[in-house]
Structure 1
Amino acid sequence: MPRLTIDTEYLTEQLKALLRIPSPTGYTDTVVRHVAQELERLGLKVELTRRGAISALRQGSRRASARAIVSHLDTLGAQVKRLKENGRLELVPIGHWSARFAEGARCMIFSDAGTYRGTILPLKASGHTYNDEVDTLPVGWEFVELRVDALSRDVTELTKLGIEVGDTVAIDPQPEFLDNGYIVSRHLDNKAGVAVMLAAIKAMEDSGESTPVDTHWLFTIAEEVGVGAASILTPDIASMIAVDNGTSAPGQNSAEFGVTIGMADQTGPFDYHLTKKLVRICQDEDIRYQKDIFRYYRSDSASALEAGHDVRTALITFGVDASHGYERIHMHALRSLSELITAYLTSPVEIERDRNYHAGLKGFTRQPDVEAAQELARDTDPAE
């Protein structure tokens, strides 16, 4: 089936709404509730795991060999490590991101006593006090501190505010949506992936398109700390495509336009046959694409496989400049990803054997290039 038309205004509004909801790993209840309600409004049946990962079902012609699309709701953030004698807070990161991008960030501290605003600053923040030392301070979480915008001159006053070790700190996204299609914000990883999925669901519901198998729309809540899709898949899911960010940087082949298809990440190659199918759909449907390999990257697919799920996995991404920092993407990539998802989900099942958890050799996949190479080797072996 051809790609469907994507409502980019809806995609944009959903992304804006998601960015307004703080959701660092471990503090995701509000964003889960928001997305679950939107999925129900779109007409899907929604279930939550105990901790809040979302599984929304769109029924197809059959249940066996179901397909899944997954992205994550959680973002980077920080936690209070220590109440300092100067009335400021020592932090540790939630997820892997550099303190270089924390310096100067406005943020929100969530405590049992209430919420507080603040700014993450280097230990030597004032040039009027430290002169050139502000430029020679090393980069690292031990060299920054959180200044709370409340009376907090020492540990006693911090304690009176109700701030405690372990409190969650959410970093302001500071989004900008430009008229030329560029979007600049923190946490586009992976609020943009969630918006892409919602836009694809809306396109399918608006068109009434049927699918050959059930589709599970999955939204995880701990991808940034490596947990991801470890415990949300059901046995009937045969293939899963992760929607996440690609890295547009020197030495990478990702781009801020079109779809970037991940061929491998630090956990190894993605499924050969599923990835080839996605490339073929892009070619057939005239969806701009490029391929890339990510050496320092993992996604929901890695956590699913490491948890023991026997599922084919692939990764489709929107190119992000300065990932895990001040990120930038383009609407062209987001629209392209939504289009690819709709085309894939309405495409026929090609590996019928995948409907079985275990089966014999009949119907097992082939990798023609390997077999052709074996034939060539036999033809050129002088011993034959």
Structure 2
Amino acid sequence: MTTLDYLTTLTNIPSPTGYTKAIMDYVVGELEKLGYQPQRTPKDGVLVTIKGQNDRQHRLLTAHLDTLGAMVRAINSDGRLKIDLIGGFNYNAIEGENCTVHLAKNGKQVTGTILLHQTSVHVYADSGKLERQQDNMEVRLDEKVRNAEETRALGINVGDFISFDPRTQVTPSGFVKSRHLDDKVSAAILLNLLKTYQKEQTPLPYTTHFYFSSFEEVGHGANSSLPPEVIEYLAVDMGAIGDDQATDEYTVSICVKDATGPYHFGFRQHLVQLAESQQIPYQLDIYPHYGSDASAAMAAGAEVKHALLGAGIESSHAYERTHLDSIEATEKLIKAYLYSPLVP
């Protein structure tokens, strides 16, 4: 398995926040095959620890496996579904997307498509002007249902989770297009680094914890279950691309500030120096509407130095894209950090 293999596998396992058992089971299985003894936390995170030469001062790296998604909000009179969003994104980002409803009642799955109720331009004159919001958006089920009773007879109920088709593609030019690259790119990188460590067996200078979290998209992912010895906390998450952003699809992005405030200056500079010394292409950036597991940990009172880096992701929280160059640069910088001294 390569990083790209892990990525394509992860993106194809549905894992909207709150419905992550299948993907956590997969990660636990992979880690056990590699010879690790992963621990499951009470809030469904997965923690694996590598004992380092210094076992008094620890590091922790996180990547989250939960994604954007939705829940059944109501069953309409025509049998279609009204939805409620999980995570911070807009309805227009999922219009026309195929999806799967995961039935809590019987474990079955029902496919469908997320559409504006007034989609047909042959029927609705204002189709293009209507606001994409909860009252107008619905799931058209791929079942013969004409009313709410027939939909309920399938076993569908309020609160059933809805996942979006990832549509993962890797182009000949090296681009990776998929939903949920945030943050399955990072999780794939950490899995590959853990595999590489087992192969190389080069001792890490400090005991290091790898935490795969399951509630990042709703703001409280890896802010608990932190071993008390942890003094450095590195969140591996996406870099957002857009106007006034330095982040691109070909370098690793190092965040200096997000919506919660600045990241630790010394830690940031440590990552910059590692990138420059090893000729790893990078960008510094500010994400004005963004929070990470590291910033959530700080809000919860963690007494650590915190930093954030990740691959550059185009069209975040929609149909996302990055490039293999950015994934490679991110992986190189993380590996350089793992074998570096503590942040001054």
- TM-score w.r.t. the length of structure 2 is 0.97
Q: Which residue of 1 aligns with 2:120?
A: 126
Bigger mean CA offset, 101-110 vs 132-141: 132-141
Structure 1: unaligned runs, 5 residues or longer: 1-8, 352-384
Among all aligned residue pairs of Structure 1 and Structure 2, give the percentage whose two residues are the same amino acid: 35
* Structure 1 residue 307, shift from structure 2 partner: 1.3
Indicate conservation of the 8 Å contact 1:209/1:346, yes or no.
no
- Matches of 1:49 and 1:202, distance apart in 2: 22
* Structure 1 residue 42, shift from structure 2 partner: 2.2
Bigger mean CA offset, 195-204 vs 302-311: 195-204
SS at match of 1:136: coil
The 4+ residue runs of structure 1 with deviation greater than 3 A are none
SS at match of 2:123: helix
Which deviations, in whole Å up to 9, do the C-alpha atoms of 1:350-380 show, x marking residues without a partner?
Answer: 54xxxxxxxxxxxxxxxxxxxxxxxxxxxxx
The equivalences for 1:322-361 within 5 A come to 322-351=315-344
Pick from 260, 263, 266 the counterpart of residue 270 of structure 1.
263
Structure 2: unaligned runs, 5 residues or longer: none
The equivalences for 1:205-224 within 5 A come to 205-224=198-217
* Structure 1 residue 231, shift from structure 2 partner: 1.2
Q: Which residue of 1 aligns with 2:83?
A: 91
The equivalences for 1:132-211 within 5 A come to 132-211=125-204
* Structure 1 residue 50, shift from structure 2 partner: 1.9
- Paired residues in the alignment total 342
- Matches of 2:302 and 2:276, distance apart in 1: 30
Indicate whether 1:261 and 2:249 are aligned: no
Indicate conservation of the 8 Å contact 1:256/1:320, yes or no.
yes
Indicate whether 1:26 and 2:18 are aligned: yes
Letter in 1 for 2:37: K
- Matches of 1:20 and 1:97, distance apart in 2: 20
- Matches of 2:295 and 2:335, distance apart in 1: 23
Q: Which residue of 2 aligns with 1:80?
A: 72
Bigger mean CA offset, 307-316 vs 38-47: 38-47
Letter in 1 for 2:66: D
Look at both structures and tell me which one has the larger radius of gyration over its CA atoms.
1
Across the aligned residues of Structure 1 and Structure 2, the Cα RMSD in angstroms comes to: 1.2
Q: Which residue of 1 aligns with 2:92?
A: 100
* Structure 1 residue 348, shift from structure 2 partner: 2.0
* Structure 1 residue 204, shift from structure 2 partner: 2.4
Bigger mean CA offset, 195-204 vs 233-242: 195-204
Indicate conservation of the 8 Å contact 2:70/2:83, yes or no.
yes
- TM-score w.r.t. the length of structure 1 is 0.87
* Structure 1 residue 232, shift from structure 2 partner: 2.5
Indicate conservation of the 8 Å contact 1:45/1:58, yes or no.
no
Letter in 1 for 2:296: S
Structure 1 residues 203 and 160: CA distance shift in structure 2, 3 A: same
Letter in 2 for 1:328: R
Q: Which residue of 2 aligns with 1:360?
A: none
Letter in 1 for 2:170: F
SS at match of 2:311: strand
Indicate conservation of the 8 Å contact 1:63/1:214, yes or no.
yes
Indicate whether 1:318 and 2:311 are aligned: yes
Indicate conservation of the 8 Å contact 2:180/2:317, yes or no.
yes
* Structure 1 residue 207, shift from structure 2 partner: 2.0
Letter in 2 for 1:321: E
* Structure 1 residue 241, shift from structure 2 partner: 0.6
SS at match of 2:38: strand
- Matches of 2:39 and 2:140, distance apart in 1: 40
Indicate conservation of the 8 Å contact 2:270/2:343, yes or no.
no
* Structure 1 residue 203, shift from structure 2 partner: 2.5
Which structure features the higher share of helix residues?
Answer: 1
Letter in 2 for 1:125: T
* Structure 1 residue 347, shift from structure 2 partner: 1.1
Which deviations, in whole Å up to 9, do the C-alpha atoms of 1:287-326 show, x marking residues without a partner?
Answer: 0011000110001011111111101110001111100001
Which deviations, in whole Å up to 9, do the C-alpha atoms of 1:208-249 show, x marking residues without a partner?
Answer: 221111010011000000111121311111101111111111
- Matches of 2:343 and 2:109, distance apart in 1: 52
- Matches of 2:321 and 2:79, distance apart in 1: 35
- Matches of 1:39 and 1:332, distance apart in 2: 26
- Matches of 1:15 and 1:303, distance apart in 2: 25
- Matches of 1:143 and 1:251, distance apart in 2: 33
